[in-house]
Structure 1
Amino acid sequence: MDNRINEIRRIIRALRVSMCEAEFIMHEQINRDEDCTFVAEEIMKMRAVMSGLVQERTRLGDNEPILVHSLFIPRRPPTPPRIRVAKRRLEPPQRERA
C-alpha cells in the first residue's frame, strides 16, 4: 500500500507540472488571440484525473501536502513599499492686526 501512495504522489507531482505548462501555453494562445479549446480541454481532463488520484490517496490515508517546485514567473516586478507622508493642511496666511 505504501508503494501505491508513493506512486500516486509521483503522478500528482508530474501532473501538476504538466498542468502548469499547459496553462502557460493556453495563456500565450489567448494573448495571441488564438483558439485555445484543445489545450483547455486537456487541462480539464488533467483536473479530472487529478481529482481521482487525490480521492484515492485520501482513501489510502495519506494527508501530507505534496510539494512541487514553483514554476510561477511573476509577470511584472513587485512594487516597492510606499513611503507614507503625513498630509499637511493648507491654511490661509494670518493677517497681522495693527
Structure 2
Amino acid sequence: MSLSMKPLADRVIIAPAAAEEKTKSGIIIPDTAKEKPQRGEVVAVGAGKVADSGNLIQPQVKVGDQVLYGKYAGTEITIEGTDYLIMKESDIFAVL
C-alpha cells in the first residue's frame, strides 16, 4: 500500500485493523458495541526526531510493521476514502 503523503519528524501513519465482528464464542457484536482497534499496520514513517544535540534519531518502526498502540492515540484522517491514524512514534507500544 503506497501513500502520496509523507509524515513529518517522528510521526507515522497507521492503517488500523478492522474491528472484531464477533467474540471468540461466536456472538456477533453490533456496530454500536464494537471497540476501536488497538492494532494496525504502519504505512508511512517520518524521517525521525531531532534531538536537543542536533542529531537525528531514526524511527524504530518501518513500513509494513504490525503495531499495538493506545486506544485513543493519534488523529483519524481519511485519504482517498481510506481511514488512517497519524500519531507520534512514542504513542506506539509494541511491534508484533
TM-score of Structure 1 vs Structure 2, range by shorter chain:
under 0.3
Comparing both chains, which one has the higher relative contact order based on Cα–Cα distances under 8 Å and sequence gaps of 6 or more?
1
More strand by share: 2
The structure with the largest alpha-carbon Rg is 1
TM-score by length of 2: 0.21
